[in-house]
Amino acid sequence: MDRHPEDIADADNVSASTASAAHVRAPKRNFASRLFEYDIFLSFALGPPPRGTRSYASDLARRLSERDFTVFFSETEAAPGEHLDTTLRTALHRSKCLVVIANRGTLKDPRWVSKEVEEFRKKHPKRPVIIINVGGALQDPLLASSAQEWLDQQERIWLDESEESVKTGIVSEQLVERLATAPEKARSNVKWRRLVGGVLAFFCMMIILLWVLYNKETKATASARASRDSTRAALRVTKVARDSTGKALTVVKIARDSTQTALKDAKEATNRANSEAEHAMQQTVKAKEAQRQAEVLSEIVIKADSPDTLRKIFNREAKFPFNKSEFGKQYTEDLLKAVLVKLKLLGFHGKIIFEGHVGEFYQISRKGAQNGELELATNEKLKHLNRGDTAGPGVTSEWALMFGHSLAATVKEIARPLGLKNVQTVSMGEERPIVEYPKSKRDADKWNRIAAQNNCVWMVLDSDTK
């Protein structure tokens, strides 16, 4: 818009009522133009015809806004009291397209209209400048020659408008239709609605995830409470058994046969009590592990704020020691689902790779037992590793193969409804271990501890979005 000081002072160009309205009108900025760019910036001369085109520009801004465009029209977008130069320059820099209303008066005396065109082209040399040719002004050789230096209208397609439309301040329907097809990129209002929809979807998914985590934590708490109750009951039974044993010892003094029977009954009761106590302790351990898993999933959903943080949490948790039930299929699925959902919410568009690694376990060779030589543990020998006959945990090849197929199927099942197409699972086997093995194979305990760390799923993120 042309904001030359002479225009503002000229009584023919600006009426007193218009000036008064400019001071009380609140700017009509919306969130779409604040967050994204303006779709169209209107450049026009202030005041009424024959030079000014304010009424015409106002109607054009209204008509474009009705077609879902965000339009910078300085009379409504510039707040009272702002520095006009700064406001216009900022709006020009944040506009996708510049529309210039070029009548004869403007071409004869362009003033700030030419500065707006030059500023826009300086900032955005490849963005379109659309010219509205009012009354064939650009066909006038003298006017066209003088305007070429700043408007550069030659070999450009412009939109024609009649002088009558500018005088009445009513834009022709044909011009609005053609102008509405000019911007190629998505409109800012459309982007804003998509953003709002995405935020709402994000909060809905967060509520669902938090509800799931709450249910898991509630179940874990109930399980822990039941375990404590079982432990107390076992202790009470143990006390009763001890009392029975004491009574049996007293009865021994009276009758040998009765004492033997009582001792037998007491021993059986003690065994049952110990068995119940051991079961209760196992339940307590499982409850604690379930609570820890819930805390890990909560950390992923609530605290993780970047794809790299998610990767570190997953690689810290997805280790699978042999015969550990707490690292079962359900927790693996929950862990994968939480990570993939959070990556989707964070807007990650790169490649996601899950590598399945298998540890290489060794045991002391029978032939080389005296000099400490190691040999690769077979499936049958790995069973002994779990019982503690030799150092370190272990995993069978059949288990590794089964887990590899299960991992690939689980990842595919989770990624498909999320729309994550660039997710891969790779079976690395015993190649490329995560933790480097010792140079010497003489210490089976040290070697197998590292092998257990290499028995894992490792996530790799490639953030290249090309």
Amino acid 83: pLDDT = 53
Task: Please write the tens of the pLDDT for every residue from 244-259.
Answer: 778 854 543 765 886 5
Task: Please write the tens of the pLDDT for every residue from 426-458.
Answer: 888 777 888 988 887 777 788 888 888 888 889
**Would you call 254 helix, strand, or coil by DSSP?**
coil
Q: Say if strands 374-376 and 423-429 run parallel, antiparallel, or are unpaired.
A: unpaired
- Residue in the structure block whose two tokens are 């179940």: 219
> Which carries the bigger pLDDT value, residue 201 or residue 281?
281
- State phi, psi for 376 to the nearest 5 degrees: -65, 130
Domain ranges in the chain are: 5-185, 188-302, 304-466
CATH of 304-466 given 3.40.50, 3.30.870, 3.30.1330, 2.60.40: 3.30.1330
Amino acid 27: pLDDT = 44
- Going by C-alpha positions, the residue among 74, 70, 67 that lies closest to residue 34 is 70
Amino acid 163: pLDDT = 93
Q: DSSP string of 123-151?
A: H-TTS-EEEEEETTGGGSHHHHHHHHHHH
Q: What is the DSSP letter of 14?
A: S
Task: Please write the tens of the pLDDT for every residue from 219-230.
Answer: 888 888 988 988
Mean pLDDT of 74-101: 81
The residues near 222 (Cβ < 8 Å, ≥ 6 apart) are none
Amino acid 4: pLDDT = 47
For the ranges 317-331, 388-402, 451-465, the one whose mean pLDDT is highest: 451-465
Amino acid 95: pLDDT = 94
CB-CB contact of 7 with 47 (8 Å):
yes
Task: Please write the tens of the pLDDT for every residue from 17-52.
Answer: 333 333 334 345 566 666 778 999 999 998 888 888
Amino acid 78: pLDDT = 64
CB-CB contact of 78 with 65 (8 Å):
no
Give this prediction's pTM: 0.40
Q: Which two tokens stand for residue 267?
A: 């021993």
The residues near 67 (Cβ < 8 Å, ≥ 6 apart) are 176, 180
Task: Please write the tens of the pLDDT for every residue from 126-158.
Answer: 999 999 999 999 999 999 999 999 998 887 889
Q: What is the DSSP letter of 45?
A: B
CATH 3.30.230.10 at 5-185, yes or no: no
Q: Which two tokens stand for residue 447?
A: 């070697």
Q: Say if strands 351-357 and 423-429 run parallel, antiparallel, or are unpaired.
A: parallel
The residues near 303 (Cβ < 8 Å, ≥ 6 apart) are 309
Domains 5-185 and 304-466 agree in fold: no
